Structure formats: C-alpha cells, structure tokens
Amino acid sequence: NAKRDKADSHVWFSQAQADDDPDTLRLETDLREALSAGDQLFLRFQPQFRLSTASLIGFEALVRWQHPVRGELSPADFIDLAEDAGLMTALGDAVVNLACREFARLRTEVGLDLPVGVNISPRELVAERFVERIAGCLDQYGLPSSMLTLEITENVLIESPTIAAEALARLRRRGIRIAIDDFGTGYASLSYLNRFPVDVLKIDKQFVRDILLDRNDCAIVNAIIGMAHNLELEVVAEGVETAEQMSLLKSLGCDTLQGYLLGRPMLGSDIAAFLRTAERISSQIEAA
C-alpha cells in the first residue's frame, strides 16, 4: 500500500504521509472522542449588520474545538481532518445541533429573533437524509425555519448539481435560507448560481481585504454587487476590518457587512451583552 509506505518520508512532505503522521492520527482519535463525549466542540457567533438600516440582522456560527492539550483550535486545524477521517457529517450534525440549541435559548431568554447562519460542507449537503436531519433539529428545539440560514460553497453546485439542487429545493420549501459562501473563489458564475434557489451571496474576504488599494478587487466587488442585485440576491461582504472598507462597500451598494470592525466571533453567552452595545455600532454605520 503506497499510502502506508513511509520509505521516503524524509524527502518530501505529502498528503499521503500526512495521513501517517502520528500527530494527525492522534488528533483524529481526539476528534472522535470529542464528537462522542461532547463538550469540547463549541461555537462562536459573529454579528452581521445591514447597511441601509444600520441594524443587526443575524449571526454566523463558527465552530471551535477546545482541545484538552492544544487549546482552542480553529476550523483550519481540523475540518480537513474530519473530512478525511469520515467524521464530517457527525461534526456537521453537532454544529447544527449546537447552533439551534443556542438560538432557541436566546429566543426564549433574551427575545432574540434573528437568524443564525451555519456552514455546511459539500459532503453534508449531499449526505443521505440531510434535509430531514436539519428539519428534525429545528423541531427538537422549536426553532422556526426562518431563523436558520445555511452557508454552502459554490463548488458543491458544480460537482453535485443534481443532488444539491434537490436538497436546496427542499430546504427552500421549508423556509430555510441559503447563502453562497466565499463567492468569487470557486468556479461558479452568477448566472449558474441563479439556477438554484439561493438567497444570499457572501463576497469572500480576499476581495474585501485590499478593496481600497487594488482597483481590480474593487471592480470585482462592484460587478458582483451589481449582478447579484439584478438577480435579487442579498450581498454580504465578509472580513470588513476598517471604517474605510465599510464606507466604500456602502457606496458600492453592498447590503450587509460582517467582520472584526463590527464584531469578533463571540460566545453565545456574550450575545445578550453584545445586543446592549449594538446601538453604538449602528451609529458608526450611519456615520460611514
């Protein structure tokens, strides 16, 4: 088995060898444990603000892993691992469950009535009974479908168009909104996306980062916003870090912003306190 052959592992690092790396194997075992034991995985929630009304309109859930030895790990440290180890649907189910539970709690305890966006990997979307599992989770916590948005990446629509279209149509019928994440980094055109029941387009942060410095990036963002609006999609800009980026995005007609400028990803238990400061952020947006 070439994959298990370590003969020349001292020469080059490769994905095949990474599979055999004791560190990776160890982390995989730890992740299995975290998924069955249950309190190491948690979510941070990042706020999103609508520019036209300067108001908070929702949050995105971002998974974290509190590893007993390595500390707080980000998705970049373990999503690929989960994927390779066949743990992605289990991880995805855990995330959907945590997000629904927290937003059901916030709804009853704080009166929060805003949607939460959950990232869905391609493998989850095309998995057996995906829509039923989502619907079951909403039912379990008594959360209305309108409080859930699913974020998918454009490539799953190219790689598995038939299964994805079927799943999206059934989600739409239940009133669950769909956002295309990291738009511009994959291979789909806007006209292609428009064949699917999509509601929101999230412009990848790589285009936002240099929007003031790079004329090409600015032109791309401008074009995406224009076309998205013609197709009646709501546009979210990710990774907004400065007031200057906010002003420019506002002048380009972007609908919604998400980024460190308006709020870092926070614990669910900190959302109530955040809501009390949202007024101040709204003034900042109005002044932009």
Beta strands in the chain (DSSP E): 41-50, 55-67, 71-73, 116-119, 148-153, 177-183, 200-203, 234-237, 256-257, 266-267
Q: Which residue in 186, 204, 196 sits closest to 231, CA to CA?
A: 196
How many residues of this chain bind ligand C2E (CB under 6 A)? 22
Smallest distance, Mg ion to C-beta of residue 181, A: 4
74 binds ligand C2E (CB under 6 A): yes
Single out the residue of 24, 75, 126, 247 in contact with ligand C2E (rule: CB under 6 A). 75
In angstroms and rounded to an integer, the radius of gyration of the C-alpha atoms of the chain is 20
Site for ligand C2E in 193-222 (CB under 6 A): 205
Does the protein bind ligand C2E through residue 119 (CB under 6 A)?
Answer: yes
- Phi first, then psi: give them for residue 93, nearest 5 degrees: -60, -40
Closest approach of ligand C2E to the CB of residue 79, in Å: 5
Cα atoms in the 13 Å half-sphere on the side-chain side of 175: 7
Stretch touching ligand C2E by CB under 6 A, among 9-17, 140-148, 259-267, 273-281:
259-267
Instruction: Examine residue 83 and tell whether it contacts ligand C2E (CB under 6 A).
Output: no
Residue 261 and residue 253: Cα distance in Å, rounded? 18
Cα dihedral 231, 232, 233, 236 sign: positive
Report, in Å, the least distance between residue 30 CB and ligand C2E.
Answer: 18
What residues between 42 and 61 interact with ligand C2E by CB under 6 A? 46
Contact between 154 and Mg ion by CB under 5 A: the answer reads: no
Rounded distance between C-alpha atoms, residue 53 and residue 70, angstroms:
42
Residue 93 engages ligand C2E in binding (rule: CB under 6 A): no
CB of 6 to ligand C2E, least distance (A): 30
* Site residues (vs ligand C2E, CB under 6 A): 46, 62-63, 74-76, 79, 92, 95, 119, 121, 151, 181-182, 205, 238-241, 259-260, 265
